[in-house]
């Protein structure tokens, strides 16, 4: 996915200096660079770990930055944070939501596009992450058309309802539109 986005984004918007990476900690981006100072304090004063914790040190699976954020800040701007999950289980959903909530809560400046990319075959499981209160902007499916055909042909009432809900509300999208969405975000 990193390679796919790194190839597509400069073609979709060559005016931006895209930085597509994997496993980069969010403190390396303009909206979250202040968290590096907090981390230094927490490491120097272990008693702060109980109060503050360290769950703000998030490493999204794939990051899309735009460099530089401004003349005043040498860090790139985090434009999108992508969580990649082959399948969706309840524990993965909670991890995704928690990380996105932390990025929403701790940012200084505009929020990045917070998304999940998956190959999960069950619409009911897709709904568990696609539904929500805005922690995740959208879920992109890598086999959207094949899953749509499968749900149409073989889906039971609950699976069809979950699929129609998520797709109808544009919370579940085809992976093929991710690069274009990021370029326009």
Q: What digits encode the pLDDT tens for the residues 49-61? A: 666 655 557 999 9
- Listed in order, strand segments (DSSP E) in 67-177 are 77-85, 113-118, 138-141, 172-174
Q: What is the pLDDT of residue 49?
A: 67
What is the domain extent for residue 137? 2-184
- Of 95, 132, 113, whose CA–CA distance to 177 is shortest? 113
In the numeric block, the tokens 């932390």 are attached to 102
| 111-128 as b/e: b if 16+ CB within 10 A | ebbbbbbbebbbbbbbbb
Q: Give this prediction's pTM.
A: 0.90
CATH number (domain holding residue 121): 3.40.50.10010
How does the average pLDDT of the chain come out, rounded?
91
pLDDT tens-digit profile of 83-139?
A: 999 999 877 788 899 899 999 998 999 999 999 999 999 999 999 999 877 899 999
Domain count, the chain: 1
């Amino acid at each position: 996915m990193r390679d796919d986005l790194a190839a597509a984004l400069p073609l979709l918007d060559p005016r931006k200096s895209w930085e597509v990476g994997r496993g980069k900690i969010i403190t390396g981006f303009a909206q979250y660079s202040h968290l590096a100072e907090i981390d230094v304090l927490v490491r120097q004063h272990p008693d702060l770990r109980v109060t503050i914790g360290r769950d703000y040190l998030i490493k999204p699976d794939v990051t899309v930055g735009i460099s530089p954020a401004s003349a005043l800040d040498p860090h790139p701007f985090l434009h999108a944070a992508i969580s990649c999950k082959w399948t969706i289980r309840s524990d993965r959903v909670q991890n995704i939501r928690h990380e996105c909530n932390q990025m929403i809560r701790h940012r200084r400046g505009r929020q990045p596009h917070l998304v999940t990319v998956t190959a999960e075959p069950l619409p009911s499981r897709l709904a568990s992450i696609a539904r929500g209160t805005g922690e995740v902007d959208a879920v992109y499916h890598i086999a959207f058309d094949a899953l749509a055909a499968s749900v149409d042909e073989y889906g039971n009432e609950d699976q069809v309802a979950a699929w129609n809900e998520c797709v109808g509300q544009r919370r579940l999208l085809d992976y093929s539109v991710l690069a274009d969405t990021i370029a326009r975000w």
